[in-house]
Copies of this chain bind each other. A is one copy, B any other.
Amino acid sequence: MTFPALNVFPPNALSTGVDGRDEDASVHDQVYEALANLLIQGQIPPGKSVSLRTLASGLGVSPMPVREAVRRLIAQKALELQPSNKRLRVPSLSEDRLKQLMMARQWVEPELAFRAVAAMTKDTIAELKADDQRLMAALGKGDVDGYMQANHAFHFRIYRLAQADLFLDMAKTLWLQSGPFMRVVFGRLGTVQLPQDHHQELIRAFETGDAAAVRQHMSDDVHEGMELMLEALKR
């Protein structure tokens, strides 16, 4: 198994009080965030079956809040109930579905980037550069997980600026669905031939405030990444 064991959650997968900043959030929200992070970064492979009680004991909570978090993830198609078993698993992607994912991402994410231009600040640009450096460093070390995480941080740091909640939610849902498969593909390709991302051009376009260029570069970035996945799926 090329994936980290699922049953080992980080010691504080749920923020536990003082140090955690979400101590007032409900348990099922925290469980949701924990699971969503795992999925979006591809830490759970497609087809992998999970179970309420296993997750619950792994997180140190009762099955109840896990049920609610899982129900939410099912609604986002980030998890599915097998029709035969009614058992829980991470969905696999058909070529058809992947193409729809690609089209949707290529519609919503350039739009989000476009809207982020107006709200972009020097500080955020600095943070984006830091994200990109972490990304390059991960590439250098062959650290696929690090790449996934830095790439996610980079993109959503931009999207959050757009102040377009509906579009942001759509993007989250789409990433939740593509994360597991993306991780498999990128893990198989190795970090050497990972996408020539357009983050540099993107940052430059943000610096000059060229909204049209931002939109175009984001479109290219998404397109290139998804194209890799599509080729991998066909083979």
Which residues from chain A sit less than 8 Å from chain B, CB to CB? 67-68, 71-72, 74-77, 96-97, 100-101, 103-104, 107-108, 111, 164-167, 169-170, 177
Contacts and interface: CB of A to CB of B under 8 A. Distances in A.
B166 A77 contact: yes
Q: How many copies of the shown chain assemble into the complex?
A: 2
Contacts of A76: 75
A164 B100 contact: yes
Contacts of A72: 71-72, 74-75
Sorted from nearest, which 4 A-B pairs have the closest CB atoms?
A75-B75, A100-B166, A72-B75, A71-B71
Nearest to A76: B75
A107 B72 CA distance: 25
A68 B107 CA distance: 31
Nearest to A163: B96
Nearest to A107: B107
Contacts of A107: 107
19 contacts: A68-B68, A68-B71, A71-B72, A71-B75, A72-B72, A72-B75, A75-B75, A75-B76, A77-B169, A96-B164, A97-B166, A100-B164, A100-B165, A100-B167, A103-B111, A104-B108, A104-B166, A104-B167, A166-B177
Contacts of A164: 96, 100
Nearest to A177: B166
Contacts of A166: 77, 97, 100-101, 104, 177
A75 B107 CA distance: 21
A170 B108 CA distance: 12
Q: Which of A96, A165, A166, A169 has the most CB of B within 10 A?
A: A166
A157 to B, nearest CB: 20
B104 A170 contact: yes
A8 B31 CA distance: 35
A165 B104 contact: no
Nearest to A98: B166
Given A68-B71, A71-B71, 9 more contacts: A75-B75, A96-B164, A97-B166, A100-B164, A100-B165, A100-B167, A104-B170, A107-B107, A170-B170
